[in-house]
Amino acid sequence: MMSTKKQEKFVTHERNLLDTNDVKSMFRISDRTLRRWRNKKLLKSVIIVGCLYYRREDVMSLMVSKFRDEIK
């Protein structure tokens, strides 16, 4: 049987999910900002084994959207 950490790594790899730290470092944002984005429905999260994850596809879409807003 796999340990919880190994299960989490397997799930994130297989489903192409990013954890909270991945998203924060990609956008260079704080925990609070990420929480605001979740509350505003800018970024959907999934809870697996008690941890929040984000679909890579959703994160990349938000990144493109944020980039477009910055260059306007």
- What CATH number has the domain bearing residue 19? 1.10.1660
pLDDT digits (tens, 9 = 90+) for 3-53: 666 656 655 555 699 999 999 999 999 999 999 999 999 999 999 889 999
Spatial distance between the Cα atoms of 62 and 41, rounded to a whole number of angstroms: 11
What's the pTM?
A: 0.73
Q: Chain centroid to CA 27: how far?
A: 10
Domain of residue 44 covers: 4-71
Spatial distance between the Cα atoms of 64 and 11, rounded to a whole number of angstroms: 25
Q: What's the total number of domains in the chain? A: 1
